[in-house]
Amino acid sequence: MLEKPPFLVNKIVEKSASSGTWELREVGSEQVRFFIPGAVPPVPSLDLMPFQRLLASANQALGRLDGLASVLPDTPLFLYMYVRKEALLSSQIEGTQSSLSDLFALEDGAELNVSIDDVREVSNYVAAMDLGLQKIKDDFPLSLRLIRDIHQTLMTSGRGSGKQPGEFRTSQNWIGGTRPGNATYVPPPPDEMMNCLYQLESFLHQEDSDLPVLVKAALVHLQFESIHPFLDGNGRLGRLLITFILCENRILKEPLLYLSLYLKTHRKQYYELLQSVRETGNWEPWIEFFLQGVLETADQATATAREILAIFDEDKKKIETLGQAANTALRLHEFIQRRPVVNVQSAVDKLQLSPPTIRKAIEHLEELNILIESTGKKRDKRYVYHRYMEQLISGTEPL
């Protein structure tokens, strides 16, 4: 998907919309249709009146989710799992074939039965998310510099690691097709791209805007996807930007909202709306879709968190019936809340208990139907906190 900057024999402005300009340029022996995004917010102003009720509902759902974070018994635990689920879903949209179990196995140093590049891709996403959130907490502005740093982490290994991690492209990319001439979408050529990025950065830093933050996030996401400034990883980074904007603007204290499951579920409509904005300049259907996604995702995240809390509480009560064996089993239970796929050695290393003690605790949790053995092997067994995992993996089936 790489090619040298096009030699411009001719350039024709085909049509313009409030979202940008389409240009026909001669590249070699064929004409290529490029899109040059305009500045955001668009002119004329967006008509948000039809979405006031939906916007209010989405903000209320975010408020409920944000409030839940303050009463969770272990917020870092939930963040640990939510970030990993988002990493998996966002990578799946790009075609990665991996699972949460694969990611946990990689983090435990266990042997993998799938492509290591697929799992590293997901692991890199987790690291990129952590980097961006930490920088924002340290009051580092969401800027082109930070976007490049996040991209470098995102693409540090695995597929795409040879496509200039952390550097804006200096050659042409495209989406669909075998070359720009038959592509589904061709973003701005390098000679136009940096101006588009500077305009986007200016909008990110705009403090006097009266646009609601959720609408701003919707505009930034689409704009970033249209610019497509990297040779690879644009989709994943564009989805990360949504969460970063909500956290930077204090809409969420903790990064508990991720839209990748919604976008994965409605991916056909998602891609159609992105292209529709470019072709017609009609932003409102995209904004409505985005707000609906925030509402559904926030409500779903709140419900899932409550269901997981209920599972933990029910299982803790079961363990407390074990008598003298309860103490060690409870410690193991706390550990598998962070590592729902576990083996004897990882529990020994973390809990600093002997292998026989850990094996006995695992046996107790198996008898209580809290853990189940997942490999069917006599050696190197791995155990899954299955009710918890069922909640986590919902929606993560490969495309």
Q: Which of 15-29, 49-63, 109-123 has the highest mean pLDDT?
A: 49-63
Interatomic CA distance for residues 177 and 175, integer angstroms? 7
pLDDT above 60: residue 185: yes
Between 325 and 109, the higher pLDDT residue: 325
Tokens of 145: 């510099």
Does residue 142 contact residue 204 with C-beta atoms inside 8 Å? yes
pLDDT at 7: 42
Please name the residues in contact with 69: beta carbons below 8 A apart, sequence gap of 6 or more: 75, 78, 252, 253, 254, 256
Q: CA-based Rg of the chain, rounded to a whole angstrom? A: 23
Q: Does 228 have pLDDT greater than 90?
A: yes
Say what the pLDDT of residue 396 is: 65
41-303 and 320-393 agree in CATH topology = no
Task: Using the predicted structure, report yes or no on whether residue 327 has a pLDDT greater than 50.
Answer: yes
Percent of the chain whose predicted confidence (pLDDT) is above 70: 85
- The sign of the torsion formed by the CA atoms of 253, 200, 260, 2 equals negative
Residues constituting the chain: 399
Whole-number pLDDT of residue 394: 73
Pick the CATH number of 320-393 from 1.10.10.10, 2.70.160.11, 1.20.58.100, 2.60.120.10: 1.10.10.10
Structure confidence at residue 264 (pLDDT) = 86
Tell me the C-alpha distance between 256 and 245, whole Å. Answer: 13
By DSSP bridging, strand 341-342 and strand 371-373 are: unpaired
CB atoms < 10 A from the CB of 369, how many?
11
Per-residue pLDDT at 112? 58
Kindly report the pTM of this predicted structure.
0.86
Domain boundaries, the chain: 41-303, 320-393
- pLDDT tens for 41-56 read 998 889 999 999 999 9
Element (H, E) at 32: strand 30-37
Q: What is the CATH number of domain 41-303?
A: 1.10.3290.10
Whole-number Å distance between alpha carbons of 356 and 145: 51
Q: Where are the alpha helices (DSSP H) in 140-283?
A: 144-154, 190-204, 213-227, 234-248, 260-265, 267-280
Range 6-19 average pLDDT: 62
Higher-confidence residue of 123 and 284: namely 284
Q: Backbone phi, then psi, for 39, in 5-degree steps?
A: -75, 155
Q: In the structure, what pLDDT confidence band is assigned to residue 36 with cuts at 50, 70 and 90?
A: very high
Percent of the chain at pLDDT > 90 equals 59
